[in-house]
Amino acid sequence: MQCFCFVDIMLLDILDSGDVMKKSLALFCFVVLLVATLTSCAHKCDCCECANSNESELVTYTATAALYANYYNKYEDSSISSSDLSAPVSLINTIEAILRSDATMETVIRQSGCSLSSDQLSKMLTIQSVDDTQVFNVSVTAEDQQLAVAIVNTIAAILPEKVASIIDNVSIKLICAAETPKN
């Protein structure tokens, strides 16, 4: 407010001078100063309601579990083909499709105790192969760290059985469960 009082006094002195050029320049400077002050106030100070609005970034947490997917051969004397060796990415894409199915999502929601829809949970979920190997990470990003951990660990618990019931000769093993970091 002190800034505006000083500008008002200067503006009144210039307007009383009678010089049209000075009046125009003073008015222009006043408008520029006013806009600059209001713009900076709206985004950087605690003097108005905008500072208390939801413009701040939302804090999210990502929980990750590492799993291993493997094709196995029921018959010991069968040989492994080159397509068996290049199948990890395809296998992990298939596992992701099974995981994102409504039936699997509903099981995860029910067993983890979260109150999300299948679509909401699917948007929070990331499945990624580790360097084109049979190891893959399942991650969930959420505002609640404990919820993210609970969902990921539920997925890691149910996924091996779910995939084995659908795809023959595939096993999934947990390498590392998600943990809540200790402060």
CATH of residue 133: 3.30.70.1130
The total domain count for the chain is 2
At 119-139, the pLDDT tens digits run: 999 999 999 999 878 899 999
Residues 28 and 115 in one domain: no
Task: Say yes or no: 86 and 155 in one domain.
Answer: yes
Instruction: Indicate the pLDDT class of residue 51, thresholds 50, 70 and 90.
Output: very low
- Is the residue at 181 inside a domain? no
84 and 42: one domain?
A: no
pLDDT value, residue 94: 92
State the average pLDDT for the chain: 76
Residues 17 and 67 in one domain: no
Q: Is residue 183 part of a domain?
A: no
Contact 162, 101 (CB under 8 A): no
Residue 137 lies in a domain: yes
What is the value of pTM for the model shown? 0.64
Residues 12 and 65 placed together within one structural domain of the fold:
no
Residues 162 and 72 placed together within one structural domain of the fold? yes
CA 6-8-11 angle, 5° bins: 110
Same domain, 117 and 29: no
Neighbours of 167 (CB within 10 A): 16
Mode of pairing for the β-strands spanning 125-129 and 135-142: antiparallel
Assigned domain for 182 exists = no
pLDDT above 80 for 54: no
- Are 80 and 107 within one domain? yes
- Label residue 13 by pLDDT band (50, 70, 90): low
Q: Are residues 28 and 117 in the same domain?
A: no
Whether 32 and 66 map to the same domain: the answer is no
121 and 85 in a common domain: yes
Residues 144-167: tens digit of each pLDDT:
999 999 999 999 999 999 999 999
Quote the pLDDT of residue 83. 59
Query: Stretch 71-86: mean pLDDT, rounded?
Result: 61
pLDDT at 182 over 80: no
> Domain limits at 9?
2-52
**pLDDT band per the 50, 70, 90 thresholds, residue 90:** confident
In a domain, 126, yes or no: yes
Q: Residue 162's pLDDT is what?
A: 95
Q: What is the pLDDT of residue 1?
A: 43
71 and 142 part of one domain: yes
Q: Please indicate, yes or no, if residue 21 is contained in any of the structural domains.
A: yes
Residues in Cβ contact with 134 at an 8 Å cutoff, skipping those fewer than 6 apart: 68, 69, 70, 88, 91, 92
Whether the pLDDT of residue 98 is over 60: the answer is yes
